[in-house]
Amino acid sequence: AQSVSQHNHHVILSEAASLELGCNYSYGGTVNLFWYVQYPGQHLQLLLKYFSGDPLVKGIKGFEAEFIKSKFSFNLRKPSVQWSDTAEYFCAVKGNTDKLIFGTGTRLQVFP
Amino acid sequence: KAGVTQTPRYLIKTRGQQVTLSCSPISGHRSVSWYQQTPGQGLQFLFEYFSETQRNKGNFPGRFSGRQFSNSRSEMNVSTLELGDSALYLCASSLVPSGANVLTFGAGSRLTVL
C-alpha cells in the first residue's frame, strides 16, 4: 500500500533561515505529488503540485519542491523563511489507488 | 464563489452516541473526500464520493459511513462513538476524483467525544 513519510515533525527556524522539509513515499509507479499548508486558524490549502514534466516545481509564497524519482522523494524548500510561514505542512501522494494519501505533517515555527 | 462548507463546526458527544457531519462542496464540484485529522497522525483518508458513488474507502471500521446526494452534498456518520474518534473531520471537494485534481478543503468539524 502506498504511504507517505514526513520525518521532520517539528522544525524551528529564525527568519531568513533556509528551509527544507522532507517527504518520502513508498509507491514505485507514476505518482502525483502535492504539498498542502495549514496556517493557524485557516483551511488547508495547496502550496504546490507535481504531475509530470520539470521535476522542480514552484508554488506560492516562494516555495519550491523537487521530485527525485530515484529517491522517492518530494522535498519542500524555501531559501529564506518569514514569520508568516509559521504553519503545518503536509505532503500528499496519489499513486495507483486513486486515493490521495497524506503524511503526518511537519509543524514549522519561525521566530523573528 | 463560496468555499466548502462544513456543519456543524464544533460538537461534543458522549461515548456510544452517533454523529452526522455535513459537507457542501464548491458549486460544480462533484467529488467529495473526507479525512480525519488528529495530532501526530496527520490526515487519515476516510472515503471519497463521486456522483453519489463511493469510489474509495480508507482503513476505518464500519462505524464510519458516508453518502453523497444528487446535489453533491455529502454526509458522514459515525455510530457508537469512542473516545478515540475525537478529531477534526475535514471535507474536501474537487471537480473530479481527488487523485488527479487539487482538493479544496473546508474548515472542518471538530468532534469531541467524552
pLDDT tens digits, one per residue of A20-48: 999 999 887 888 999 999 999 899 999 99
Judged by a CB distance cut-off of 8 A, whether residue B110 touches chain A is no
Minimum distance, in Å, between the CA of residue B48 and any CA atom of chain A: 8
pLDDT tens digits, one per residue of B5-18: 999 999 999 999 99
If you ran DSSP here, which 8-state letter would residue A85 be given? Answer: G
CB A67 within 8 A of CB A52: no
B27 grid coordinates: 458549486
Confidence bin at A86 (pLDDT 50/70/90): very high
pLDDT score of B1: 62
Helix (H), strand (E) at residue A58: strand A56-58
CB A89 within 8 A of CB A37: yes
Q: Quick check: B45 and A102 CB within 8 A? A: yes
Nearest residue to B43 (alpha-carbon basis) of B53, B33, B55: B33
Higher per-residue pLDDT: B41 or B87? B87
SS3 B36: strand
Question: Measured at the alpha carbon of residue A69, what is the angle toward residues A61 and A24, in degrees to the nearest 5?
Answer: 65
Cα dihedral B89, A101, A42, B84 sign: positive
Least confident of A46-50, A98-102, B46-50: A98-102
pLDDT tens digits, one per residue of B70-105: 999 999 999 999 999 999 999 999 987 756 678 999
pLDDT tens digits, one per residue of B15-39: 999 999 999 999 999 999 999 999 8
Q: Quick check: A99 and B102 CB within 8 A? A: no
CB B39 within 8 A of CB A99: no
The one-letter amino acid at B21: L
How far is it, in rounded angstroms, from Cα B67 to Cα B55? Answer: 11
